[in-house]
Amino acid sequence: MKLAFDYNNMMGYSIGEHGIKKSIIDDGKAAHKAAYDEVIGNSGKGWQEWTETPLIDKTEIDELNDFGKSIREKASSFVVLGIGGSALGPICVFNALLHLHHNELPEKMRKAPKIYVEDNIDPERMSALLDVIDLKTTYFNIITKSGETSETLSQFIILYNAMKKAVGEKAAKEHFFATTTIGKGALYSVAQKEGFRIFGIPAGVGGRFSVLSNVGLVPFAVMGIDIEKMLDGAKEMRKACERTDIYRNPALMTAFLQVESMKAGKNISVMMPYADGLKTMADFYCQIWAESLGKAVDKKGNTVNCGQTPAKSLGVTDQHSQVQLYTEGPFDKVVTFIAVDKFGAVTDIPSDESAEVGDFLKGHTLNELINAERKSTEFALTKAGRSNFTVILPEVNAETVGELLMYFMYETAFAGAYLDIDTFNQPGVEEGKKATFAMIGRSGYEKKLEELNSIKKQDEFIIR
């Protein structure tokens, strides 16, 4: 694999009493085996079909690329409609692999359409989107695993209606394609009826584990991202995560260290990439870590109320915002740094600049500075006895991004297995979804509406 994982600063020898002793890792053989067997032993089964997503054959990759090219060549804008696991994968990959100001690039320099991932239903955002796209040359990928998500369906209804008005009923159909579970859900039915092209999501691939299925691959292919290389990277990481020895298995080791840290009260997991292109990787991580591990009960039905609250932070920006807390606040965090050895650009700080300012910086590069600052933050945290580890990417490219995404999925699955919880469900989200249906008047939710209406707020506790 191309990635490296440095967990020295999780260890007691490095950070003292808040660190983990090597003997804890060595004595945990039975737990490691159980977690390993749970994840690797069930590869491809039940909700663990995500482990197989990188294994699609070359013909499928070629078909996706051909489809992507056909859209790319005619689109001025490409819009993804989705939320949660149906949006965060596309968002973080575009952020990592497209130009950082992709949409602002002059048309000649932009090799793909402008991209918008609409993962909210803020009415102003919808109206803002309609202000900047030209519907006649815009193509929409509606992504929803369940095919029933209110946010995504409402966006679709609005935009399909707008498109019909702009280009006529018949032509509008050509502007939409759907990624959903074949044979299930409202989106599948409407897509079939309207004749949209449909891409399937395998039954056993859940939203937050779906980035390397058609959920991600279709939009990546449209934007001209090298999906073959990305899947190669994911396959490499898959192999690394199948290593039985915990000292050689990055996801098993860091999952164990995180779970041990949780047991010691470190209930916050900070994800801190030192690269703007990886900024939204932290969003991807936050969702998979929070929704997978935040659970009320374990598999035996015991109340556990477990989970580690993920927090996102960007190096170096948040050194001037969060790092004071990380260094001197409560011992309740594990910080994961993501480091990049070689950036896509080298930016000199000119040594021949005569202005009498920052002489110590002149002659260096921003590349040197960002990595010096990362190492210095790591040093400061370590000196203060704070748990931290670093994931190192030699550079950000399709292959290393594929590795990183796969690592996050395996790390989460192993952590869930150590905690003996159901990693792949999200019962805590369902109540809110049902309440929304009730409030919006969906039939079948009348009882829920009664329950909602029975809740009375007391005016004395409202300040106006």
Q: Is 219 in the site for ligand PA5 (CB under 6 A)?
A: no
Q: Among residues 143 and 251, whose Cβ is nearest to ligand PA5?
A: 143
Q: Is 149 in the site for ligand PA5 (CB under 6 A)?
A: yes
User: What interhelical angle do 88-97 and 281-293 show, nearest 10?
Assistant: 150
Q: Among residues 77 and 149, whose Cβ is nearest to ligand PA5?
A: 149
Q: What is the dihedral of CA 405, 407, 409, 413, to 10 degrees?
A: 180
Pick one of 9, 65, 144, 249: the residue that binds ligand PA5 (CB under 6 A). Answer: 144
Closest alpha carbon to 154 in 132, 193, 186, 180:
186
- Token pair of 27 as six digits: 């004595």
Q: Is 119 in the site for ligand PA5 (CB under 6 A)?
A: no
Residues 237-276 that bind ligand PA5 (CB under 6 A): none
Q: Is 216 in the site for ligand PA5 (CB under 6 A)?
A: no
If you count DSSP H runs as helices and E runs as strands, how many of each does the chain have, helices first?
18, 12
Q: Is 291 in the site for ligand PA5 (CB under 6 A)?
A: yes
Residues 150, 187 contacting (CB under 8 angstroms): no
Q: Is 207 in the site for ligand PA5 (CB under 6 A)?
A: yes
Beta strands in 188-317 (DSSP E): 197-200, 268-273, 295-297, 303-306, 309-312
Q: Is 201 left (phi over 0), alpha (psi -120 to 50) or beta?
A: beta
Pick one of 32, 72, 114, 145: the residue that binds ligand PA5 (CB under 6 A). Answer: 145
Please give the residue whose beta carbon sits closest to ligand PA5 in the complex: 207
Among the listed residues 58, 320, 456, 457, the single catalytic one is 320
Q: What share of the chain is helix, strand, coil (3-state, %, to 5)?
A: 55, 15, 30
Stretch that binds ligand PA5, among 80-88, 161-169, 294-302, 349-357 (CB under 6 A): 80-88
Q: Is 138 in the site for ligand PA5 (CB under 6 A)?
A: no
Pick one of 95, 152, 258, 397: the residue that binds ligand PA5 (CB under 6 A). Answer: 152
The reply to whether 32 belongs to the active site is no
Q: Is 295 in the site for ligand PA5 (CB under 6 A)?
A: no
Q: Is 208 in the site for ligand PA5 (CB under 6 A)?
A: yes
Q: What are phi and psi of 332, to 5 degrees?
A: -120, 20
Least separation in angstroms between residue 215's CB and ligand PA5 is: 8
Q: What are phi and psi of 28, to 5 degrees?
A: -90, 20
Q: What are phi and psi of 455, to 5 degrees?
A: -85, 120
Residues 281, 89 contacting (CB under 8 angstroms): no
Three-state DSSP state, 57: coil
Q: Among residues 25 and 92, whose Cβ is nearest to ligand PA5?
A: 92
**86 alpha-carbon distance from chain centroid:** 10
Among the listed residues 38, 49, 151, 291, the single catalytic one is 291
How far apart are the C-alpha atoms of 278 and 3, rounded to whole Å?
14
Least separation in angstroms between residue 120's CB and ligand PA5 is: 12
User: What interhelical angle do 29-40 and 250-263 show, nearest 10?
Assistant: 120
Contacts of range 197-203, beta carbons closer than 8 Å, 24 or more positions apart: 197/67, 201/145, 202/49, 202/52, 202/53, 203/49
Pick one of 85, 310, 315, 416: the residue that binds ligand PA5 (CB under 6 A). Answer: 85
The reply to whether 320 belongs to the active site is yes
Q: Among residues 181 and 390, whose Cβ is nearest to ligand PA5?
A: 181
Pick one of 43, 146, 309, 365: the residue that binds ligand PA5 (CB under 6 A). Answer: 146
Pick one of 48, 86, 95, 213: the residue that binds ligand PA5 (CB under 6 A). Answer: 86
Q: Among residues 83 and 381, whose Cβ is nearest to ligand PA5?
A: 83
Q: Among residues 65 and 426, whose Cβ is nearest to ligand PA5?
A: 426
The reply to whether 364 belongs to the active site is no
Q: Is 83 in the site for ligand PA5 (CB under 6 A)?
A: yes
Return the active site residues. 291, 320, 433
Which residues would be at the binding site for ligand PA5 (CB under 6 A)?
Answer: 83-86, 144-146, 149, 152, 206-208, 291, 426
